[in-house]
Structure 1
Amino acid sequence: ETETETEKEKETDGDDTESEPELEVELGDKGKGKEKEENDDDELFSQRGVWGVELIKKAKQTKQNCMVEDYEEETKIGKGKFGSVYLVSSSKPPPGEDHDPNEKQFFYAIKAVQKNRMSDTKTDKKQLTREVGSLMSVVHPNIVRFYAALESTTHYYLVMEYVSGGNLLRFVMNHPEKRIAPYEAIPIFRQLCWALQFLHQNFIVHRDVKPDNIIVSPTGIKLADFGFSRTFTQKDLLYTACGSLSYVAPEVITGEGYRGEAADVWSSGVCLFFLIFGGLPFDSDNDRETVRRLAKGDYHKPDFVREFMMQSPKICDLFDEIFEPDPKMRITLDEILLHEACWYDRATVASYLLPFARKLGEKKRERGREEREGKRTEKEEQEEKTRQEKRERKRRGRRA
């Protein structure tokens, strides 16, 4: 899996004028250009009482008035490019959440980002402030909660909800077969779709959806790591290539502009494929071949995958619609959540409730089309009609 970055500017969208990290597609051996991991022996609170702690610039509306001194370090639970993640405890309860009045200790995760590891171009700082901005604006059961942002002379700190289950990649790798059954995978995928749908409704795209950034909790999953996220408008095209090559949509690496919502859909499909089959759909021996497969939507179908697809045609159909190389033809999150495969584990819902939900969805879309009628040109309406006809022909072809 290749995750390389460059500071070459490719987009100026919204208020952003600085460059942001990009995924540079190296067409050589896999792993080329990966960041060399540095040693991090700094203790989180080694200079307690010395720092003048203040809120980070982009988080003045933080939900909890707190200081670094309010937290006691328990243990290090993760490591990233710019620092580490720590489990900490505090006597302060999470703001706005119900809790047992007799409980005296509360646990949080603090992401400690070392300033001296961030570049001087403000690119890395902008990535951090985007993460803060995205997390501050969303509250959803399938998204990690954000509580506060702090700054010291040496670090930035993000105080977040602590989720004890580890990431989804580790969860799958701990299974004996290194994959999980469809009836377990589909509910996880459904929750991921709900999280992404909520983000998109709030005009935020994630752009780095992968099992490493999905945390397993006792009640389900939670989407985390919003370093590549950004806000968007309905007219926005994004140009920065970012994320991980194994999970990225083909249009992201062409440089021609892409819609973040469709790119998130593609990445969610890769996650589902990984959960069910224990492998990645487009990975090859070298990045050039991976890019070729991405461009064609040509995902791996070894014998055991083909056998599964024959037994579960609805899931096969869902993969075909997600891995559609043309983002305008790709299935949307709303359509995924009305797809029978998305309710594979709940036959009653798939058999009886979905037909009614689809009718309601069609009526809602029809009303939306009527409202936009005066705003769309004749050419745009013809293009939309052509896309719908093409999608329907492809669906009929698959069923045949």
Structure 2
Amino acid sequence: MQFENSLEFAEKMDQQDPLAAIRNDFAIPKMDNGDDEVYLCGNSLGLQPKLAAEYVQRELAQWASLGVKGHFSGDFPWMPYHEFLSEGFADLVGAKTEEVVAMNTLTANLHFMMVSFYRPTETRHKILIEEHAFPSDHYAVESQIKFHGFDPKESMLLIKPRAGEDLIRNEDLIELIEKEGESIALIMLPGVQYYTGQVFDMQAITQLGHAKGCKVGFDLAHAAGNIVMNLHDWQVDFACWCTYKYLNSGPGSVAGCFVHENHHKDEDLPRFAGWWGHDKSTRFKMENTFKPIHSAEAWQLSNPPVLSLAAIRGSLDTIKKAGGINALREKSLKLTGFMRHLLTTQIPERITILTPSEEKYSGSQLSLTVRLNEKDDPERGKRVFTALEDAGVTGDWRYPNVIRVAPVPQYNSFKDVYRFVEILKNAIDNH
């Protein structure tokens, strides 16, 4: 669409925005003067939906009045509570309800998935990840390789950008899988790269990986609630995501997991088992012969924390009220497109945008670097970021030199985007 460089245009877009009222369903942090912050940090921690607080309070009241009977009483009894999230999760990632489950936390889930889907042999033992993976993913992969008795120097295969570039080229990734595929046991890449905001072509990666005999899984921490996915149709083996970024479910909230139905009935598939993954019809007979549920629930260990699930349910209901992931993505493209337009037309010589410009390869997040001045001052970017914070903008800083900002369609406005760019221009001029 055609964007204009004016506050009036931003205000007109907000007036025409069918999702504008959803902002009122969130708690927006305030500055000292009482004005709303320009909160652009949903890629790290999303804001609190009012329904999340309401639903958590409801379960606290249930606990107070019913005690243990709350496991089986009321509209949302605790024992099956995780099942109330399945439809929302499935809609977000393009899955069947039986392919998703709320359990554990993100890195824990990656480990549990690798127990099942990283089965190295002497000839096929490598795990392919990106060189600048989120540290927790790197640690998890490295430790799994060591656990199986292999050397990460030989078994960790890293895809990286070309020299002098920031993004991984699709053709380089394809070439590496084609070349090394016979030795790769598992491809585990992000849906959206945390540092650059680059979206990976998950469908193509999965198809190519399977053609080479590899298992394929994704870390969707920055993808869930951000971009449209179809994990079931793409035949992805597994995927894991946190729920506190674009899913707005609270710090450290319970994570999500996808396991394709192709694997549900394989009772010989190795896994770390717990009683919440055991067949529901006989779970409480307390027998010591594990019979996995024929769904993603089979990978559960323990009954999950209901208060966290309640917050997630509040967030998912808020997303549903907004029209779901397709409606959110439609607004996201406009919000981020407006931000990119303002940056590239007003301060192109002072800011570099690392995130790809093609819509297919970018989500809500833009990763920015502040170009050095004539003194080549390496701390300039951090000073600009601090000035943004002082002026009421919440984004985040990632070493060595990236400012990440994410206009989230549920609660950010076009006026937020305009204000951010005005504040950024002033911060750069004065630092």
TM-score class normalised by the smaller sequence: under 0.3
Give the alignment's TM-score, normalised by structure 2. 0.22
Judging by fraction of residues, say which structure has more helix. Answer: 2
Structure 1 length-normalised TM: 0.23
The answer to which structure, 1 or 2, has the higher relative contact order (CA under 8 A, 6+ apart) is 2
